[in-house]
Amino acid sequence: MKTKRLADHLAQMDANASPHHVADVVVSLWRSIEFALGPIIGRRGVAALYRRCVYIARKEFQWLPGAADDDPAGIDFSTLHNALEQQDNSAAIAAGSALIDTLHELLASLLGSSLTERLLRNVWANSSIGAPTPDPGHDR
pTM of this prediction exceeds 0.75: yes
Pairwise CA distance, residues 16 & 107, whole Å: 31
Of 21, 3, 9, 35, which is closest to residue 100 (Cα–Cα)? 9
Position 7 in a domain: no
Domain that holds residue 91: 18-126
Query: What distance in Å separates the CA atoms of residue 39 and residue 46, rounded to the nearest whole number?
Result: 10
76-98 pLDDT, tens digit each: 899 999 999 999 988 999 999 89
* Residue of 30, 27, 22 whose CA lies nearest to 49: 30
* Residue 139 within any structural domain of the chain: no
As for how many domains the chain has, the answer is 1
Does pLDDT of 133 surpass 50? Answer: no
Report the share of the chain in percent with pLDDT over 70: 71
Q: Which residues pair with 3 in a beta bridge?
A: 134
Determine, yes or no, domain membership for 12: no
End-to-end CA distance of the chain: 4
Condensed to tens digits (0 to 9), the pLDDT of residues 32-88 reads 899 889 999 998 899 999 999 999 999 999 999 987 665 655 688 999 999 999 999
Summarised one tens digit per residue, pLDDT across range 4-31 is 455 666 666 766 788 898 999 899 989 9
* Residue 2 located in a structural domain: no
